[in-house]
Structure formats: structure tokens, C-alpha cells
Chain A
Amino acid sequence: MTDQPAGAPPSDRQIFAAIYPALRRFAAVVGSSDIEPDDLVQAAVVRALAGGALSRFDSPEAYLRRTIVNLASNDRRRFGRRRRAMTRFTGGWTETDTDRYPSDLSDLEQLPALTRAVLYLREVDGYGYEDIGRMLGVSAASARTTASRALKALRSTTAAKDPS
């Protein structure tokens, strides 16, 4: 919180403030509905800071995106127990069953975290597969295949729900 001298490299707080909005939206998509996006972002930052300053990364944003995907994948397994307990308790009703989104949210929910990440970066942020691969630590071909299969599956599901 001390004053930043002119010409000094940005502090970690400044780095994080600049990339936070994009990271948060990314985490909201990648994380399951049980998880607050900010919690996911925070957990990723905790892991990043454990090894040193954010400024040590060539791209802190890419590192944090990869970490968010990994955390979301782990949480998906971890929170499975909670979802099962909730379903038992509520007689089948769960928060995720509430259709609060305009279209095929529940279908998105079924996708793995990495797949949602690829879809979001491609369909919303408009990145090419090379960039997506670099950001998420997979090959461009893998990112393309992942997106293609997910879109095919979603189209199929949507068509089955609404034959017209």
C-alpha cells in the first residue's frame, strides 16, 4: 500500500487488479455452480503466491487460469459428495436444478472444467486455439478437439430437448 515510485514495476496488487475481471468471469464459467467464482480465484492466487511474487511469471494471467482449471476439476470431484447429500436431504431439489440461465446451462454444468474453459475462451473471448493451448497448458490440436466434441455434444443435447 505504499506509494509506487515513478517507473517502478507494477506491484502484485496492481498486476492482480488488472487481470481480476477477466479471471473472475473465467472462474465463474469453469467452476461448478457450488463454488463462488471469487473463492476459486482467491484459491488460485494463494497457490501462486506460495512460490513467490506474481511478477515472477511471464504471464500471471495464464498461470492463474491454469490453476483455476485444476482447482475446479478437483472441486468438481470434492463437491460431488456434498451434492449427493443435498439431493438426499432435499428430496431431489438442488440449487443447480434451478434454471436461472437463458439456455443450456445445465448441459454446460455436465462438462468437465477444462472443456468449459476451452469453450469460454473460444466462444466468448474469441481466442484462437494456439492461444488457448498456451493458456491452458494443452496443445492447440487438443484444444480444438475438446471444443469440437463439446459443441457436438451440446448441439445433440439441445436438439433432443427441442426437436423443433
Chain B
Amino acid sequence: MIQIKDSLVARADRGIIRGASNVFEAANATHPAHDDTIEVHGSNVIDVVASPVRPARRRVVLLAAALLVLGGIGTVLILDRDEAVTHVSSLVPNGPDMWGTFPSPPLSSRSQFLAVATDTGLLVWGGYNDTSGSLSDGAYWDQAAQTWTKLPPAPLDQTRGDAIGVWTGSEVVVLNGVDGVKAAAFDPDSFTWRTLPSPAHVTAAYNASTRLYFVDGTVLFVHIHGDSGTGLGGIDMLDLATSTWRASTGIPSGFAEADVRFTSSADNLYALVTQLPGCGGLQPVFLFNIDADTWTQLATDTPFSNWSPGIFAWAGDRLVMAGGTDCATGASVPYATALDPAGAFSVMSSSPLPLQVATGGRYPDADWNGELLGMTLSDGHAVTYSPSSDFWHVGPTRGARFNETPTTWLNGQLVTVFPGLVNNEDGGSACCRPQDDSFAYTPPLPPIAADMAAPGIATTTASEPTADSEAAAQLAVTAVTAAGWTSELREHATRTTPDGMTIQWTYLTDTSNRRLFITIAPTGQLDSFAGRPALQASRNTAGDLVLVWPDDPGATTIAIDTGNSTIIVRSEAIDTSTGTARPADNLIALAKSIAAADLEHPGG
């Protein structure tokens, strides 16, 4: 009987341990993430939600719909719906195109606070609540550790909860205060604040009327309102190397009595100048040169008249203006345009919604993550825009109206911490009742180009799921899981190459923001692949014949021939600027584990 007990004990230790926190949060996310009509209450969701269980298959339907809309390559998600309960939905608290919960900071709920995303997490500081007024505590979300930690006391103005901040690549620089602005910098690595000198020529620093940008190595403190309440009050520039401030000297005359909106790239500050009252007349765009302390008019007018755009944001290589209202009529307009750095406008696909963002004028209109602009609208919709493909995507709504809500990208998700619920809808008088809960929206993955989907095979057609591709996908999932990797099956298909070769193709993603493509082709194809340009064959230390596609940033691809089939495994970072592919040895081991099934090429 000892043998049976040993077996029971051994069996009890099997599987991948995700931990209590992850399991609970994933379960908890099921309810708010999939109930489109849920009212967000002040207390924790798990205490107030009593809705029936949403069948997991609904998530699959949503996922399938998103992929069908965005796929563009005719692929169909064919996950077995029952299987998705285990292999897709339950592994990802909030899957593609879904809102899920995000752990709230260990702080009281608040509004008008500061939220700044860094390379490693998210800083939250300050704000106001209904009982104690101004708040001067904060917390930091460590993305790798998946934990919040309270911040040490900040050397900032303790009487003001509103603040502005910006990430410099190593520190979060924060300014606050009205009668005497204070400045400090928080280093997430050392988890310490350092005091910075105060700028000389300002009287207020809070996110309703001032902004902070980090441009060309310099912190720019932009006073949106001058003494008259409009226009640009001035710019103070902090040189981090010397910790010294200097004030800009010149402001274009057209900025006076105008509504000026700002956004920045890594190298420049941009301003969109709209005439007041209304927004008739010319609408020029200016560029600020830090070194020369000069403004240059980049464009004389936007392509549309009487336009107050919903968003004005930098998006990698162009400025994007979209949505908003017609100032003459007050009607929502779908206008969308992009302005390149040379000053040329191009008209883009119409915005699908008016893009009334839920920032309350306190936070940036939209956040750029290197691939997508992301924003939360006041009606609770998450919206993303891909400039490279000129594609808008409207995500689901949270089912509540928000305002004064910061939205930032964090590890591929749009995160809203303590969103402010529009209060007059339930009898309140204030603008925004802060919520205890926080949320994250996961956008759908971008379409996959054919050459990415089947590396080494120039073009494939007729992407269709088949029984063979399903069986191949199951084998891939089993092998990936056995390797100890957390993954999510996205698609599989049977594809045909131009020369008539049939391949079975499986696409997975993992929680480290990587794609994994596994292709099973008929045996004897290595020579064929090797004959293609830019493909290098070699043997590793174990003697495996490995084919590598070089000059492929952010990706690693290997291929082996088992004698029964050719197995190609490719790992690539979804965001090549921050992600990494799995190393070749990992992929070889995975391919070997698939080969261990001693399978012949399915369908071959």
C-alpha cells in the first residue's frame, strides 16, 4: 500500500504551479471581464457580483470574433470549445479583446492621482478622496513580481494630492504644489526618492493645467494655461545630468487666447493650436526645438474645418488626430488624419467612435506602446489604433461611464487604475466617484503576415483548420505544456505552399508576450528549405541539424527532420523592441519532444 500512497503523493505534485494569487485573480476576473452590463461598485467585485457563471465558451466566441475581424488571412479559430476552458480561458485572466481585473494598489481609492508607467511597472501617487482630502501616499506595481509595494514618503508638497510625472528611462520625475512647486524623482530599482530643485518661474503643478514630458533627455514642464487662463504659460526645462532648470524664452504669439494641446515623441514636443472661442480659423501644428528654444510651424491647418479632435497623440513616426466634435454644430465627427514630421497630412480611416476619452483633461489623450495607440473612452470602451495598418479596433465597454481615468500601456495591456465613475448617473454630485477596483484591457493580436506565419515557406494559401491540423495542434500544445511553458493556442490550419506541399501549422502565444509557430511538414523537406535564400544550416553540439533564418530580429527559428516529418519551430517577440525569442536550444528540445511521438506528417 506504500506504493499506492507514493503514487498519490507523486501525482499531487504534478503540473505547473501558478500560485494562489494568480489562480484567484484569474477566477475573479471571469465575472467583471465578461459581463457587459455590470455596474462597477465601490467595494471589491467579489463581494458584490452575484451573476451566473459565464460559460467559458463565450470567451472563445469573443476570441474567435476578434480574430475573424482582424485576421485578414482567412483563418478561423477552431479551438474545441470545451477544451478552451482549460487550455485558453483559464490560463489567461483576461484574454484578447477583453477587460479583466487588474490588482488595485494597496491604497485607498482616489481620483486626480498620478499614474506613470515605467519599463518595469506602474507608479501611482497622490490624489484625493472624499474623506481625508489630499493624499500623499503611493505604490509601485512590479510587473515581474506581479506585486504592489507602498512607496516611501515622497519629498513633495504634502498638501496637494495632484501631481504630474514622466518616466525618463531610469526615474519617474514628479512635480506638485501650487504656491511653490516641488520636484522629486523616484527610482524603481533602488526604491528611493531623491529631491530635485524646484523650477523658478511657475506657480502651479497639477495635471489639470500643466504637463510633464521627457524629450531628448530633458524634462519639459509645460504650463498649459497662462495668466489669462488660456494659451501657453511657458516651458521650464530640467537637465537631469546637472539637475538644473532653465526657462524657455519664446512663445509663438498665436498661442495666446488659444486652446493648445501637446504631445511628445522621444525627440520633440508638438503643439496643436485651436482658436478660441469655438475652433474656427486655422489650426496650426508647431514643433518645439529644445536646444534652440524655438518653435517651428509644422503645418498651417488641419484638413478639416471647425474641428476639435478627440485625440492628439504621437504614434511612432507621425502625429495622429482623430474623432472629437465639430465646433460649429457640436456634432461628433469621425475625422482622422496623420501628420508626418515633414508636415504632410494624410487622411486615415475614420474613427469608429467620437473618441471622447475618459481623461477629464487631466491625462494624455492616448498612450503609444510602439505598436498601438490605446485609449479608454468615457463610455467605457477600450479603443486601439494601429497607424501602420490604419486600423481602428473598438474593444468591449466596461459597462460604466468613466471620467478622470488615466490609461497606460503596461506589458501589452491597457491598464486603468481606480477609474472614476461618472457620478451623476447614480445621484451623486461630484464628477467622478473613484473606484476600488482596477482593470486591464488586452487588445487583440495584430494580423499575422503570411511570411511570419510560415517561416521559410514564402507563401502559403488556403488556411483552413482540418482534423489533421487539430491533431497537430493538440500534439504541439501537449509538447509545449510538457516543456513547462505556459501557452495559449490561438489558431491552427492546414496550409499549402506554392509548390503543392501541405503543412500543418499551429500558432500559440505565451505570457511573456511571445508567439510560437510550429509547422509540421512532410519529411525530407530540409533540403528544400535549405535551398532557399538566406537560410543557414549547421549542426549544434548535440549533432542536430539546425536550420536558422538569420537577420530576423526578435525571432529564432529552427527546423529538424525526424525521418517521418520535418518540424519547424519559430519563437518571436510580439514586441521586438522589448521582447526576446526563446533560445534555439529550447526550440530544438521542443521539436524533439514532438518528434518523440514518432508521427508521420499528418495528412501527408
Interface bin, chain A = 35 or more
Kindly list chain A residues whose C-beta atoms are within 8 Å of the C-beta of B599.
89-91
Contact for B475 among A13, A89, A104, CB less than 8 A: A89
Asked if B17 and A24 make an inter-chain contact with CB atoms under 8 angstroms apart, the answer reads yes
Interface segment, one of B24-32, B191-199, B238-246, B569-577: B24-32
Interface of B, helix, strand, loop or mixed by DSSP: helix
Asked if A43 and B470 make an inter-chain contact with CB atoms under 8 angstroms apart, the answer reads no
Q: How far is the CA of A11 from the CA of B47 in the complex (A)?
A: 9
For residue B6, CB closer than 8 A to chain A, the reply is: yes
A108-130: CB near B (< 8 Å → 1, else 0) gives 10000000100110011000000
Asked if B8 and A123 make an inter-chain contact with CB atoms under 8 angstroms apart, the answer reads yes
Shortest C-beta distance, B364 to chain A (Å), equals 25
Asked if A53 and B30 make an inter-chain contact with CB atoms under 8 angstroms apart, the answer reads no
Closest to A155 in B: B1
Asked if B86 and A39 make an inter-chain contact with CB atoms under 8 angstroms apart, the answer reads yes
Asked if A28 and B13 make an inter-chain contact with CB atoms under 8 angstroms apart, the answer reads yes
Which residues of B471-496 have CB atoms within 8 Å of chain A's CB atoms? 471-472, 474-475, 478, 481-482
Kindly list chain A residues whose C-beta atoms are within 8 Å of the C-beta of B24.
12-13, 16-17, 20, 45
Q: How far is the CA of A87 from the CA of B9 in the complex (A)?
A: 27
Asked if A2 and B20 make an inter-chain contact with CB atoms under 8 angstroms apart, the answer reads no
For residue B11, CB closer than 8 A to chain A, the reply is: yes
Which residues of A1-42 have CB atoms within 8 Å of chain B's CB atoms? 1-3, 11-13, 16-17, 20-21, 24-26, 28-29, 33-39, 41-42
Q: How far is the CA of A47 from the CA of B28 in the complex (A)?
A: 10
Asked if B597 and A93 make an inter-chain contact with CB atoms under 8 angstroms apart, the answer reads yes
Shortest C-beta distance, B359 to chain A (Å), equals 24
Asked if B598 and A46 make an inter-chain contact with CB atoms under 8 angstroms apart, the answer reads no
Known A-B contacts A82-B83, A103-B6; A151 and B27 likewise in contact (beta carbons under 8 Å) = no
Shortest C-beta distance, A144 to chain B (Å), equals 16
Q: How far is the CA of A53 from the CA of B50 in the complex (A)?
A: 9
For residue A52, CB closer than 8 A to chain B, the reply is: yes
Kindly list chain A residues whose C-beta atoms are within 8 Å of the C-beta of B478.
86, 95
Shortest C-beta distance, B280 to chain A (Å), equals 48
Shortest C-beta distance, A164 to chain B (Å), equals 14
Contact for B8 among A54, A79, A119, CB less than 8 A: A119
For residue B352, CB closer than 8 A to chain A, the reply is: no
7 A-B contacts (beta carbon < 8 Å): A2-B109, A28-B11, A35-B86, A49-B46, A89-B472, A91-B597, A123-B1
The 10 closest A-B pairs by CB, nearest first: A89-B471, A20-B20, A45-B27, A25-B12, A103-B3, A50-B53, A17-B20, A37-B15, A39-B90, A1-B104
- Report which A residues bind B (CB closer than 8 A): 1-3, 11-13, 16-17, 20-21, 24-26, 28-29, 33-39, 41-43, 45-47, 49-54, 75, 78-79, 82, 85-86, 88-91, 93, 95, 100-105, 107-108, 116, 119-120, 123-124, 151, 154-155, 158
- Report which B residues bind A (CB closer than 8 A): 1, 3-24, 26-28, 30-31, 44, 46-47, 49-53, 80, 82-83, 85-86, 90-91, 103-109, 148, 436, 470-472, 474-475, 478, 481-482, 597-599, 602
